[in-house]
Each structure stands twice: as C-alpha cells, then as structure tokens.
C-alpha cells in the first residue's frame, strides 16, 4: 500500500472515530434542531469514512479524492450553519472542533495528492 | 505564458476538439453541470414560482416543463458536445456556416449570456450583498458587483479546471444548505401539511410557470456542449444531464418553493436568513453566483473567441470587464430593480432556442440521413486542412423561422422556436438537396484550433 493510500486510511479512521464521538454527543444537545443537524452530519461522516476506508484498502485513488471533496464540501456547510442561533447547544464547541479537524485533514490529504501528481480535479 | 502539449494552458481547446486525454468522467460532469447551470439561479426561480403558485401546481410545472422538457433538450445537446468535442459555437459552424456561427454566437451568447447574463448576475450579487450588509460601502450594489465580477473573471480565466474545482466544493454544500433550510422552514412553520396548504402571495398560471421554468434553463440546456465536450463518452454526458435534471433541479427548485411558501417572502436568500441560517446563506450566495457567472462568462468567452480570433483566456477578461462595468452601472443608477433580469429571460427564451432547433436538425437528421454519416463522432468533425462553408443558408433561414415562431406563436416560446427551427431546417435541407440547389456558400480551410 503506497503512502497516499495509507495516509488516507488513517485519516478516514480518524473521521470514523470523530463521527462515533458526535453520535455519542447527540443526547447532550439542548434543542431538537441542533440534535437532528448533528445526527445528520455524524451519519454522513460515518458513511463517507466507511466508504473511504474501503477505497483506501482497495487502492482506489480517484474515489478517495472524490470522497475527500465531498467531505470538505458538506462539513464546511455544516460549520457555516453552526453559527446560527438555531443551532446553539452546549455540545457545539466540541462538534465544531471535530468537524474543523476533519476539514483540515482532507485539505491536507488533497494537497498531498496534488503534490504526488495525482489528478485531484479529474474525477 | 504556460503551455501544455503545444497549446496555451488556459485556452481550453476553444476552437478545436477536446482530446480524449483531457476528458472527464460521469461524476465530474454530473457535479459540474449541476453546479454550473443550477445552483442559485434555480433557487431564485423557485422563489418566484412559490410567489405565484401553490406547492402542488409548482410540482406539476417543474416536473412537466422544467424537468422533462429540459431533460430531453439538454440530453440531445449534451450528446452533440460529447461526440464532437467542440464548444457550442464552433459546432454551430456546421448548421450555420463559419460566418453564420460567428455572428449568431456573438449575438446570442457573447452579448446575452457572456455580457448580459453575466452583468445581471453580478448586479444581482451586488443587490443581495447590499441587503445582507446594508450601510456598508464595500457591500453597496455597485461596489459588490465590481469585486464580485472580478472574482468571477479570475475563475473564468482559468477555465474548466476552475469550474471543476468550484463544482466539487459548491454542489454538495448547496444540497446540504437547502435541505437544512427546508427542514427548518417545515419544522418552524407547521410541518408538511402547511407546505401543501400554503397560499401564494400573488397569482401565476400553470402555462406561465412552465414557460418560466423552461425559459430559465433553456439557455443552459442548449449551451451544455461547452461543458459536455469534456465528457469521455456521450453516454456519460447524457446520463449526467438527465440525472441532474431529475434529481438536483427538482430538489432545489421545489425546496425553494416550499421555503418561500412557508416564510412568505419571494427572495429565497432573505427567507433563509430569517430562518437563522446566517453564514450558510452567505455561502450559497457568494459561491452559487460565483460558479453560475463563471459559466456565463466561460460561454461568453468561448463564443467571443469563435467570433474574434484571440485566446479564450484573454477574451474572458475583455467580455468580463464589459459585463462587470455594466453591472456596476445598473447598481449605481437603478438600485434593486428586477426588470433587466426579466427582459433577459424573455430575449433568450425566444432567440437562442431557434438556434438549438437548427443544430439538432443538422446533427440528428441532415448529417445522419441526408448525408449518410452514421458515425456520430464524424458528423460535426473539423479536420485541419479541409474546406468548410462560410454560410449555410438553410440554417440561417430555419433560425429566422424559429425565432419568429418564438416571438409570435402562442404557447411556450422556447419550445415553439426549437420545433419550428428543427422542422424548417429539415424541410429546407431536403428540398434544396432534392432540387440540387446549392445552399452552402463561401469556403474556408480549417487550420486547427491554435490561437496565439
């Protein structure tokens, strides 16, 4: 397994753990909108992490990159909505921290893929 | 200037067939088509629809007019783009001749989409920005139009790579934000039952609604080859188009209808702000208008390059600056008027579809059955060193007939124009060929696509 696939595998594993933590934090949300929103993002992260682990294991580079783009796009939308008063909740700082880390690791992953001459725009 | 394989890197094969090594797969096309032609324009159209129709009627209008009609038209033109690998306007050299294609491309795309729509969207960007941040000079209509336009020119300069990048980032984000907005509106305003029973503020007939939904997207359907020429296979282009029309388009437009019906406003972004979506709305506006205007200008620059032999990246700057200045001028003088937007929809709804009808007739009927070219890859093929005609009289006449039908025949103007141009083109080509009357005039030798 080459460096990029191994690194992506680690990143997806981190995302998987984060999504489980977010699922665990669900009952601590103070309002129903925040809870549903957290449920949606944690399930999305769980699903894309599982897909990513499979793609990394199988060495499917372009699918890893497509998955990374998808995660970055959705997670940044989630973070953007989080500033709304509708989503005020005691668990939000933790959720924002985890989703921000996820965003950063996939930007790093795409940057490394680009440095390794992998076609990050040609899906 | 950076060059790649003997071509200027940012020219994007503006006057030649996109080589197979530079083509993209289904996933890329789906995201790019959805983000490029859909996004914020569809949201605003949903807002207008929800202001005049209830949810059931809006669904009927969208699924009949919007989705089905546009899926067919877009699929036909997407396939032409993928088969030929040529931009829409270079492809127009076949039904209209080189001079005809240049003039029509310049008049119908450079002036309308490239400068007009680009200016309208930039102006609209300024309007929305000034509504979100009132009393801030940097976000006044004209100032926001200026810096927004500059941002869009930059991505258009880069070309298809920038479009892909923006699409990967923007499309899933839009889906998420609209879904959250929709769920919030439903949760806070009485549930699904309230969506179904909500009464619109004003009245709109079903025919008007279908005309509007078709008119909104018809230009995108007909200039789809600008994007689909990058498709690896015609099948990918068609699937990507149909999929985005049946999944993405109805979701966005009906989502916007529901939000508007529940919250009572007509400008969708204002309604989403009322729901408390804050920065999320800003993302929709900035990124959504960025990509849709990048496509407007991208098509404008391709048609301008087809008309005037300069590199596409240079023409994107020229056309973009004109559009941005126009937007800033509107912002400075007219304030928040929607009239320019509506007049542009009317103009495009009656002129551009006529050209589409002639192109369909030439590619699918005349070349296939009258000229006997069975291989679709060969029907619109430009080969260096070969002679082609300057003017195709059949194309020009059928376009004129279609345009007149769009103006004067009652019904859905865009569909009337396409059908009339399509049938007139076939009939005229058949009659001229049977009578052995020459209808292609002037000759030029195609010398490849390098413009320096």
Q: What is d(CA B395, CA B165) in angstroms, rounded to the nearest whole number?
A: 37
CA–centroid distance for A18 within its chain: 8
- B173: nearest CB among A33, A36, A76: A76
A107–chain B Cβ distance below 8 A for any pair:
no
Mean pLDDT by 10 residues, chain B (452 residues): 55 90 91 81 81 87 83 95 95 94 90 83 83 82 89 92 89 86 82 81 83 82 93 95 89 86 77 77 81 91 92 92 85 61 59 92 96 94 91 96 90 89 97 94 84 58
Through-space distance between the first and last CA atoms of chain B, rounded to whole angstroms = 10
Q: Where along chain A do its domains lie?
A: 3-115
Q: Please, are residues A98 and A18 in contact by the beta-carbon 8 Å criterion?
A: yes
Residue B154: the pLDDT is 93
Q: What is d(CA B186, CA A40) in angstroms, rounded to the nearest whole number?
A: 17
Sign for the pseudo-dihedral over CA of B401, B406, B412, B417: positive
B24–chain A Cβ distance below 8 A for any pair:
yes
B28–chain A Cβ distance below 8 A for any pair:
yes
Residue B2: the pLDDT is 46
Q: What is d(CA A103, CA A68) in angstroms, rounded to the nearest whole number?
A: 9
If residue B213 lies in a helix (H) or strand (E), which one and from where to where?
helix B206-222
Give me the tens of pLDDT residue by residue for chain A, a chain 123 residues long: 588 899 999 999 999 999 999 999 888 888 888 888 889 999 999 999 999 999 999 988 889 999 999 999 999 988 888 777 777 788 888 888 999 999 999 999 999 999 988 888 777
A100–chain B Cβ distance below 8 A for any pair:
no
A37–chain B Cβ distance below 8 A for any pair:
yes
The C-alpha of B93 sits at a distance from chain A's nearest C-alpha, in angstroms, of 29
Q: What ipTM, to 2 d.p.?
A: 0.89
CB pair distance less than 8 Å for A123 and B24: yes
Q: What is d(CA B309, CA B371) in angstroms, rounded to the nearest whole number?
A: 30
- B184: nearest CB among A72, A76, A86: A86
CB atoms within 10 A of CB B54: 16
Single pTM value for the model = 0.89
Rg (C-alpha) for chain A, rounded Å, is 15
> pLDDT by residue (tens digit) across B292-306?
889 989 999 999 999
Phi and psi at B262, nearest 5°, equal -80, -35
- The set of residues, in sequence order, having a beta carbon less than 8 Å from that of A100 and lying 6+ positions away, is A79
Question: In chain B, what residues touch A69 (CB-CB under 8 Å)?
Answer: 168-169, 172
B192–chain A Cβ distance below 8 A for any pair:
no
Class of B17-338 per CATH? mainly alpha
Residue B346: the pLDDT is 58
């Amino acid at each position: 397994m080459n460096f990029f696939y191994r690194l992506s595998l680690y990143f997806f594993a981190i995302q998987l753990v984060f999504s489980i933590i977010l699922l665990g934090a669900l009952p601590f949300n103070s309002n129903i909108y925040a809870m549903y929103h957290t449920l949606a993002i944690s399930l999305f992260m769980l699903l894309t992490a599982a897909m990513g682990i499979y793609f990394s294991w199988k060495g499917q580079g372009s699918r890893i990159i497509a998955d990374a783009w998808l995660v970055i796009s959705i997670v940044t939308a989630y973070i953007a909505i989080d500033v709304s008063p509708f989503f005020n909740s005691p668990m939000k700082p933790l959720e924002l921290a985890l989703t921000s880390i996820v965003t950063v690791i996939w930007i790093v992953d795409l940057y490394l893929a680009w440095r390794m001459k992998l076609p990050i725009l040609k899906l | 200037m950076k060059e790649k394989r003997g071509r200027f890197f940012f020219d994007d094969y503006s006057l030649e067939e996109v080589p197979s090594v530079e083509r993209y797969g289904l996933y890329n096309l789906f995201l790019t088509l959805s983000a490029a032609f859909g996004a914020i324009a569809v949201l605003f159209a949903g807002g207008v629809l929800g202001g005049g129709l209830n949810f059931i009627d809006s669904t009927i209008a969208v699924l009949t007019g919007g989705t089905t009609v546009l899926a067919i038209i877009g699929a036909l033109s997407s396939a032409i783009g993928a088969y030929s690998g040529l931009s829409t306007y270079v492809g127009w050299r076949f039904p209209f001749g080189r001079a005809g294609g240049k003039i029509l491309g310049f008049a119908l795309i450079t002036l309308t989409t490239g400068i007009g729509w680009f200016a309208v969207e930039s102006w609209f960007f300024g309007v929305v920005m000034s509504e979100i941040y009132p009393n801030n000079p940097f976000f006044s209509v004209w100032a926001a139009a200026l810096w927004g336009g500059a941002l869009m020119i930059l991505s258009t300069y880069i070309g298809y790579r920038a479009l892909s990048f923006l699409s990967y980032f923007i499309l899933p984000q839009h889906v998420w934000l609209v879904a959250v907005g929709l769920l919030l509106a439903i949760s806070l305003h009485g549930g699904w039952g309230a969506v179904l029973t909500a009464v619109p503020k004003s009245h709109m007939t079903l025919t008007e609604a279908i005309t509007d939904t078709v008119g909104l997207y018809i230009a995108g359907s007909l200039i789809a080859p600008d994007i689909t020429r990058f498709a690896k296979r015609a099948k990918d282009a068609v699937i990507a188009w149909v999929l985005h029309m049946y999944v993405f388009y109805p979701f966005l437009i009906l989502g916007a209808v529901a939000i508007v019906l529940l919250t009572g406003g007509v400008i969708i972004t204002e309604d989403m702000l009322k729901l408390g979506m804050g920065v999320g709305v800003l993302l929709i506006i900035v990124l959504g208008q960025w990509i849709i205007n990048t496509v407007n200008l991208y098509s404008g620059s391709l048609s301008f390059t087809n008309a005037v032999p300069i590199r596409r990246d240079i023409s994107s700057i020229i056309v973009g600056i004109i559009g941005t200045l126009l937007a800033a001028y509107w912002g400075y003088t007219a304030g928040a008027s929607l009239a320019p937007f509506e007049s542009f929809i009317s103009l495009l709804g009656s002129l551009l579809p006529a050209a589409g009808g002639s192109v369909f007739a030439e590619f699918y009927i005349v070349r296939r059955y009258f000229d006997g070219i069975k291989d679709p890859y060969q029907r619109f093929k430009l080969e260096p060193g070969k002679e082609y005609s300057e003017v195709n009289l059949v194309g020009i006449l059928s376009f004129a007939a279609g345009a007149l039908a769009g103006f004067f025949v009652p019904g859905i103007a865009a569909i009337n124009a396409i059908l009339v141009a399509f049938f007139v083109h076939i009939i005229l080509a058949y009659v001229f060929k049977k009578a052995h009357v020459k209808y292609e005039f002037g000759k030029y030798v195609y010398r490849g696509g390098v413009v320096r």
